[in-house]
Chains A and B, each alone.
Chain A
Amino acid sequence: MATEKELDAFLKGVEKRAFKRSYYHVRNEESALDIVQDSMMKLAEHYGHKPVDELPMLFQRILTNSTLDWFRRQKTKNALFSHLSDFETQDEGGDFDILESLLLSTNPEQNESAQDHAQRAQTLRAIESEIQDLPARQREAFLMRYWEELDVAETASAMGCSQGSVKTHCSRAVAALAKALRIRGICL
């Protein structure tokens, strides 16, 4: 059973990645924060008694489901109150752009020149943009597999699909990203 300290450490370790993952999906800062908060609450409420090593997969599954719930709510809301198409979101966050904020970061590496910093930020922005442009399932599989470092079986379980599908999604995502970054002239 995870202690409160262990749960705190776990959440602290995943919260930023969880936010970015949600943001790549919903493209709205407030909504992404709400989704992460909701996921944290659910984890603490229902799975706080689970061993620490089970928390990563549980949290990924909760985050995925919370994101899907958000899309469902948006779909219903859009159907009722507007003419927006499915899964299209309105930018409630005003003119804030999280990608632009990367350029304005106040913590560049000390020995990094302004030009290097700008170039690095541009690369990050390009990568994030290409990830956002991936189909949802490919993006989900890619991020869980390579960013969250879940294995194929865990990713399949969290996504509710077969291991073969995960491999296919990942392979297609990598191919699409590689092609897009090559076109932009980005070498990793």
Chain B
Amino acid sequence: MKPFLINPMAQNATTAEFGARIAARLDESAQELPDHVAQRLCRARMQALSHGRQLRRQVAPVLATSGGLRWIKQDHFGFWGRASSVLPLIALLIGLMSIGILQEQQRAHEIAEVDTELLTSDLPPVAYTDPGFAQYLKAGGQD
């Protein structure tokens, strides 16, 4: 290896070259680790791989049993099967709409009853706008 002139004010290329030369020396030292360290690193690697393998095994059955991917990727029931799975949703929508219509009709019926009472009463409806009559009603109709 040719001598390398070290200059603190080196350009980027020189800096990179210096870095690379240091890295090459560090590589040398990394390859000469004591046996027990190399063995421990190997064991750590095996343990990590085994751990990853176990995790993948645990995840795979969960996906299979929950059917998460199966429902997306496979079609077991055809068109009618899929249509029947939508039926409960349609029934729910129809039910909600029916309840809404019935409540609306009931409210209209109640208003009509009040109107009928007012119109068929001996008392003219204008009387209810009179403050004195309103006071009389609040007092319970006793004067």
Q: Which residue of B lies closest to A4 (CB)?
A: B49
CB contacts (< 8 Å) of B56 on chain A: these are: 48
A15 in the interface (beta carbon within 8 A)? yes
Say if the beta carbon of A29 comes within 8 Å of chain B.
yes
CA gap between A48 and B51 in the complex, in Å: 10
* Residues from chain A with Cβ under 8 Å of B15 in the complex: 170-171, 174
Roughly how many angstroms separate A188 CA and B21 CA in the complex, as a whole number?
A: 7
Report chain B residues within 8 Å CB of A37: 40, 44, 47-48
Bound-state CA distance A33–B40 (Å) is 8
Within 8 A of A (CB), among B1-50: 1, 3-4, 6-8, 10, 15-16, 18-23, 25-34, 37-38, 40-42, 44-45, 47-49
Which of A107, A123, A187 has the most chain B CB atoms closer than 10 A to its own CB?
A187
Q: Are A188 and B41 in contact (CB under 8 A)?
A: no
Q: Is the CB of B41 within 8 A of A36?
A: yes
Interface presence of A75 (CB below 8 A):
no
- CB pair A127–B34 under 8 Å, yes or no, is no
A102 interfacial contact with B, CB 8 Å: yes
Q: How large is the interface on A (under 10, 10 to 19, 20 to 34, 35 or more residues)?
A: 35 or more
A101 touches B (CB below 8 Å): yes
The residue from A142, A179, A182 contacting B19, defined by CB atoms under 8 A apart? A142
Residue pair A127, B22 in contact (C-beta under 8 Å): yes
23 A-B residue pairings within 8 Å (CB atoms): A4-B49, A8-B45, A8-B49, A11-B45, A15-B42, A16-B31, A16-B38, A17-B26, A17-B27, A19-B30, A20-B29, A29-B37, A41-B47, A43-B48, A44-B52, A45-B52, A120-B28, A124-B29, A142-B22, A146-B22, A146-B23, A174-B10, A187-B3
Within the complex, the shortest CB–CB distance from B47 to chain A, in Å, comes to 7
Is A27's beta carbon under 8 Å from chain B?
no
Q: Does the CB pair A177–B29 fall under 8 Å?
A: no
| Known contacts A127-B26, A147-B26; 11 further A-B pairs (Cβ under 8 A) | A33-B37, A40-B48, A102-B29, A142-B19, A146-B16, A146-B19, A146-B22, A147-B23, A174-B18, A181-B6, A188-B18
Measured CA separation A8–B15 after assembly (Å)? 33
Could you tell me the distance between the alpha carbons of A174 and B8 in the complex, rounded to whole angstroms? 8
Q: Closest approach, in angstroms, between the C-beta of A28 and any C-beta of chain B?
A: 12
In the complex, chain A residues whose CB is within 8 Å of the CB of B44: 15, 33, 36-37, 40
Q: Is A80 an interface residue (CB 8 A)?
A: no
Closest partner residue, chain B, to A180 (CB atom): B6
Among residues of A, the one whose C-beta sits closest to the C-beta of B16 is: A146
Interchain CB contact (< 8 A) of A4 among B16, B47, B53 = B53
A98 at the binding interface (Cβ < 8 Å): yes
Taken together as a complex, chains A and B put the C-alpha atoms of A8 and B46 apart, in Å, by 8
> Closest residue of chain A to B4, judged by CB?
A188
